[in-house]
Amino acid sequence: MKEKQIKILLSAPRGFCAGVERAIEIVEKSLKKFGSPVYVRHEIVHNKYVVDDLRKKGAIFVEELDEIEDKSRPVIFSAHGVPKSVPAQADNYNLNYIDATCPLVSKVHREAENLNKAGFHIILIGHKNHPEVIGTMGQLPVGSIDLIQDKEEAQNYDLENGRKLAYVTQTTLSVDDTKDIIEILKKRYPDIKEPSKDDICYATTNRQMAVKNIAKKCDMFFVIGSRNSSNSVRLVEVAKNSGCEKAYLVHSESEVPYDDINKCSTIGISSGASAPDILVDDFINQLKQKFSVITEEIEIIKENVIFKVPNKLN
């Protein structure tokens, strides 16, 4: 008999954003149009379930273009964006490539290029080695863009006198942490040029706001997502910073901590922008095996953003 009753506060919006949906659709439409295999450079989005599912359908994932065995097959660039050297290499190989870069990441790329042309030295606020950061820095000549990851680096940043300075950011950062870094930069460089519109994407912002909204009411908080998903890891941090210290990432190898959940009356659940709904449903169903569960969805904003796939796939 399930004696223990648990209330689940389901954070909304959660899960897939428009950029992720578009990237997955690009792979599926490419498979339909060109047959299998199609190659994908890097994980199309950072989620093992999604990648495994596309692999079953005929996608082959590679990290670099020289790993592609059959150069006559199409290759898709992931949603995170790529440095300019990658399309150039694809042209050298005569590859048919389709770019699934999220339009909001492409916006940051164009912004950085325009600032560079206007003579600005650029700071990118982001996480080292994340594919989005590699892609954005790879839009510009070496030495014209610097990476700042945290408040300490912002405090110690040193720019040659007389240079015009601007900043852009990775799209999947913590809104609060980024604000703190920007404040330090503005204090130190009052003339620093900021983006006309926030670079952190609407989906990252909305998911963080939704988690903030319910975290303090929860004894534990679970974010369904992958360990290499920046926006999922940020959601765990947001839950902790917003009043729920016991916040955890639930990834493909996680075990459900039933004993800890048994001590709770209310838990919160959200999911990263690359995690499909089925993973949230599976997690809740696992809880239903052990507990009597009441679920309440708390939505703070409706999302209706849609990004079209490239015309050549229609």
Q: What is the pLDDT of residues 245-286, one digit of tens each?
A: 999 999 999 999 999 999 999 999 999 999 999 999 999 999
* pLDDT > 90 in the chain, percent: 96
pLDDT surpasses 80 at 160: no
Closest CA to 269 of 229, 224, 228, 299: 224
* pLDDT (mean) for 183-191: 96
Using the CB atoms, write b or e for 269-304: b if 16+ within 10 Å: bbbbbbbbeebbeebbeebeeebebeeeeeeeeeee
Angle at alpha carbon of residue 175, lines to 169 and 178, rounded to 5°: 50
Return the domain boundaries, the chain.
5-16+202-299, 18-102, 108-193
pLDDT above 60 for 1: no
Going by C-beta distance under 8 Å and a sequence separation of 6 or more, which residues neighbour residue 117? none
Q: Which of 42-51, 155-164, 178-187, 297-306 has the lowest mean pLDDT?
A: 155-164
Residue range 50-87, pLDDT digits in tens: 999 999 999 999 999 999 999 999 999 999 999 999 99
Which pLDDT band, with edges at 50, 70 and 90, does 96 fall under? Answer: very high
Model confidence, pTM? 0.95
* Annotated catalytic residue 132: yes
The CATH fold of domain 5-16+202-299: Cobalt-precorrin-4 Transmethylase; domain 1 (3.40.1010)
Q: How far apart are CA 251 and CA 233, in angstroms?
A: 11
Position 145 scores a pLDDT of 97
**In this predicted model, what pLDDT tens digit does every residue of 103-132 receive, in sequence order?**
999 999 999 999 999 999 999 999 999 999
Helix (H) or strand (E) segment spanning residue 53: helix 48-57
- If you ran DSSP here, which 8-state letter would residue 246 be given? -
Asked if the domains at 5-16+202-299 and 18-102 fall in one CATH topology, the answer is no
Q: Which of 25, 67, 132, 160 is catalytic?
A: 132
Q: What is the pLDDT of residue 230?
A: 95
Per-residue confidence (pLDDT) for residue 195, from 0 to 100: 94
Pick the closest to residue 271 from 81, 20, 42, 80 (CA basis): 20
Q: How far from the centroid of its chain's Cα atoms is residue 153's Cα?
A: 23
Give the Cα-Cα-Cα angle 279, 283, 289 (nearest 5 degrees): 140
Take residue 244 and report the two structure tokens written for it: 């729920």
Q: What per-residue confidence (pLDDT) applies to 2?
A: 62
Q: Environment class of residue 56 by beta-carbon count within 10 Å: exposed (0-12), middle (13-18) or buried (19+)?
A: exposed
For residue 97, which of 86, 113, 105 has the smallest C-alpha distance? 86
The CA distance from 25 to 177, in Å, is 32
Cis amide prior to 141 (ω within 30 degrees): no
Reported confidence tier of residue 300, pLDDT bands at 50, 70, 90 = very high
Given a cut of 80, whether residue 162 has pLDDT beyond it is no
> Is domain 18-102 given the CATH code 3.40.50.11270 in the classification?
yes
Q: Which fold has domain 108-193?
A: Cobalt-precorrin-4 Transmethylase; domain 1 (3.40.1010)
